[in-house]
């Protein structure tokens, strides 16, 4: 297993451990401290354990070598794991919003939570924000869409804990409706984050690709020594890796070996600048192309 795979799985394991710890902490203090908000936050973390496990499974499957049924490997399992995380996040977000609306119209001022529950909520927010920063940095370092989804889920949970803290403080100050407002805002943020992850994963699974990045890659290919023109370029995401095909036109008087050397230069440039490891380069004679004869 390569270093990136080990790092990705480490990020997922850290999230699972953090959620197990926080869910136990919040459920315990929420129950004994009479805080419905903290209790609900703890239940939310139990669903996050499932999401993180799904991502971990996706990561393990994605590292399987190619077989008869998967010639390009299993890298898209990581993207599917991102979708699972997005579905769980949006379910939690909608639940938080509806719970906030219900809480706003049915406020219970008879039960005042212990201030200790507020401290637990604040600690949880800070703790989970630290996990978020770690996984966000890791996702960018290893270019992992599923770990990025985990990081966004971490951030959402930090925000939920902030909302729980605000609600507890509001109840202590005699303004219980503050809990509902804060929870609604947090729920909307979670839904927006989930939608962004779902959109990116869906684009990847349907072979969509960033147009601006494709144009940038195309410029790099054209600037390669020996390339006279580029007539076609297309790319798609396969998990966290880019699969690219391009057709370039070169001097028709070049030998096969010289043409091959140009393709090697293109591959080396794309690997160095964009970490693209899967490139197919079609070579065509420049003069023939100009006359309209394609080969």
Same domain, 198 and 273: no
44 and 187 belong to one structural domain: yes
pLDDT per 10-residue tile (average), the chain, 295 residues: 75 93 93 82 84 86 84 84 86 84 74 86 96 93 85 89 88 80 81 88 88 94 94 90 94 93 96 91 78 49
Cα separation, 153 vs 11, in Å, equals 12
Same structural domain for residues 278 and 189?
A: no
Is residue 201 domain-shared with residue 221, that is, in the same domain? no
By residue range, what is the domain housing residue 261? 211-290
- Model pTM score: 0.73
Shared domain check, 139 and 251: no
Q: Which residues contact 139 (CB under 8 A, 6 or more apart)?
A: 11, 145, 147, 148, 150, 151
* pLDDT score recorded for residue 160: 86
CATH of the domain at 133: 1.20.1510.10
Secondary structure of residue 181 in the 3-state scheme: helix
Domain match, 197 and 232 both? no
Please tell me whether residues 150 and 258 are part of one structural domain. no
pLDDT at 288: 54
Give me the residue label for tokens 């219980």: 176
pLDDT value at residue 289: 43
Which pLDDT belongs to residue 295? Answer: 45
Looking at residue 97, its pLDDT comes to: 86
Secondary structure of 25-88 in the HEC alphabet? HHHHHHHHCCCHHHHHHHHHHHHHHHHHHHHHHHHHHHCCCCCCCCCCCCCHHHHHHHHHHHHH
Which pLDDT score, from 0 to 100, does residue 99 have?
Answer: 82
140 and 284 assigned to the same domain: no
In a domain, 295, yes or no: no
Residue 238: per-residue pLDDT: 86
pLDDT value, residue 1? 54
* Helix (H/G/I), strand (E/B), else coil: 114: coil
In a domain, 125, yes or no: yes
Q: Which of the 8 DSSP states describes residue 178?
A: H
Looking at 205, 234, 257, the residue that finishes a domain is 205
CA atoms within 13 A on the CB side of 219: 6
Are residues 73 and 59 part of one domain?
Answer: yes
Q: What is the CATH number of the domain that holds 239?
A: 3.30.70.1350
Q: Which of 155, 186, 205 is the last residue of a domain?
A: 205
Using a 10 angstrom Cβ sphere, with 0-12 exposed, 13-18 middle and 19 or more buried, the burial of residue 86 is buried
247, part of any domain: yes
């Amino acid at each position: 297993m390569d270093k990136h795979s080990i790092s990705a799985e480490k990020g997922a394991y850290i999230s699972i451990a953090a959620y197990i710890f926080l869910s136990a902490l919040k459920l315990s203090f929420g129950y004994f401290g009479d805080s419905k908000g903290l209790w609900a936050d703890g239940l939310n973390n139990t669903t996050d354990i499932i999401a993180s496990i799904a991502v971990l499974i996706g990561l393990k499957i994605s590292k399987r070598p190619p077989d008869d049924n998967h010639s390009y490997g299993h890298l898209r399992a990581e993207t599917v794991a991102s979708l699972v995380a997005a579905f769980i996040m949006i379910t939690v977000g909608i639940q938080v919003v509806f719970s906030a609306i219900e809480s706003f119209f049915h406020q219970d001022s008879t039960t005042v939570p212990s201030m200790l529950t507020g401290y637990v909520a604040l600690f949880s927010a800070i703790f989970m924000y630290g996990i978020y920063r770690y996984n966000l940095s890791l996702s960018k370092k290893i270019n992992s869409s599923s770990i990025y989804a985990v990081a966004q889920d971490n951030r959402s949970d930090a925000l939920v804990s902030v909302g729980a803290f605000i609600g507890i403080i509001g109840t202590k100050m005699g303004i219980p409706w503050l809990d509902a407002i804060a929870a609604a805002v947090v729920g909307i943020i979670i839904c927006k984050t989930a939608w962004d992850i779902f959109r990116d994963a869906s684009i990847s699974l349907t072979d969509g690709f960033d147009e601006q990045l494709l144009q940038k890659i195309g410029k790099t290919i054209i600037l390669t020594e020996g390339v006279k023109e580029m007539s076609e370029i297309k790319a798609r995401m396969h998990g966290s890796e880019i699969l690219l095909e391009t057709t370039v036109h070169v001097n028709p008087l070049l030998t096969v070996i010289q043409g091959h050397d140009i393709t090697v230069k293109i591959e080396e440039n794309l690997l160095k600048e964009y970490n693209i490891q899967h490139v197919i380069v079609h070579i065509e004679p420049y003069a023939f192309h100009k006359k309209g004869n394609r080969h």
